[in-house]
Amino acid sequence: MLSYRHAFHAGNHADVLKHLILIQIAEYMGEKPAPFWIIDTHAGAGRYALESAHASKLGEYRDGVGRLWEAKGLPPAAQNYLDFVKMLNPDGQLRHYPGSPWLASQLLRESDRLRLYELHSTDLKLLQECFKTAGRQVTVNASDGFVGLKAILPPPPRRALVLIDPSYETKSDYSNVVKGLQEALKRFATGTYALWYPMLSKLESRQLPGKLKGLGATNWLHATLEVCAPSKDGFGMNGSGMFIINPPWTLEKKLHETLPQLAKLLAQGDGAKYTLESQSA
């Protein structure tokens, strides 16, 4: 039974990190004339109403995108991210938050394609509604994203960004992302893969970065953003990470410029910090 709904967490600090990086990668890919695909393995609803019962129950967006909403002097990459969020809120009030599918769709050119996968029946309907007029450029698939990758890779244009961000509600999610990436790299070694993960006290979460580094990719970038120290009781998510395989060469510099200020703006207590490490051939 699928129970996870991203609507409870839309716009939180983890979304800020994930979506800022998604935008940077997709914009870079769009600078070259050749077409590219964006493939989202766990797409969610597409966009979220922050005043809905789900989003307002926890109100996590207030300590995420809400902290940036009126901030001045943001680094360019953070301002760029915020400008996309403001596109969905033209009246100047933060009422809606774009999920990765909506953001990805805004970054496509006519020749580019977006392939979305979602299994939760409620989110699937919302996702289909979000893109009902998108035509052939956007395909919404009611299937497991890891299974979908096996069928879709390599994509016809041989250029693609694959975003992987499951809920990590079960232990199998951790092994599935490692196995899924391993198989994807065999099919499409030159693709750009952006994997998000939560920073939790559980062993699977703490071991995941090492397993990702062990996949054998020669070019990778690993960014983390913690908004507080881990809780003493071991519960809750104190930060998140993005592991990018074959990142744009420009991304590391952009994150060096951006993460220090994000760590300050999004801090929820002692222990707020960021890390950035990379390997290149």
When pLDDT is cut at 50, 70 and 90, the band that residue 52 belongs to is confident
Catalytic residue among 165, 173, 233, 270: 165
Question: Which residue did the predictor score with more confidence, 171 or 125?
Answer: 125
For residue 53, with 0-12 CB atoms within 10 Å meaning exposed, 13-18 middle and 19 or more buried, which class applies? exposed
The yes-or-no verdict on residue 3 having pLDDT over 70 is no
The yes-or-no verdict on residue 218 having pLDDT over 80 is yes
256 to each of 23, 259, 277, how far by Cα in Å? 16, 6, 10
When pLDDT is cut at 50, 70 and 90, the band that residue 2 belongs to is very low
**For residues 111-140, average pLDDT:** 95
**For residues 172-177, average pLDDT:** 94
**For residues 105-126, average pLDDT:** 95
Average pLDDT, the chain: 94
Q: How far apart are CA 103 and CA 84, in angstroms?
A: 7
- Told to judge if 165 belongs to the known catalytic residues of this protein, a careful annotator would answer yes
**For residues 149-163, average pLDDT:** 96
- % residues pLDDT > 90 (the chain): 88
Question: Which residue did the predictor score with more confidence, 30 or 58?
Answer: 30
Q: What is the pTM of this model?
A: 0.95
When pLDDT is cut at 50, 70 and 90, the band that residue 55 belongs to is low
The yes-or-no verdict on residue 1 having pLDDT over 50 is no
Q: Who contacts 194 (Cβ-Cβ below 8 Å, separation ≥6)?
A: 18, 21, 22, 25, 161, 162, 163, 164, 242, 243, 244
DSSP E strands in the chain: the ranges are 37-40, 47-49, 96-98, 113-117, 138-141, 160-164, 192-199, 220-226, 239-245, 273-279
The yes-or-no verdict on residue 222 having pLDDT over 90 is yes
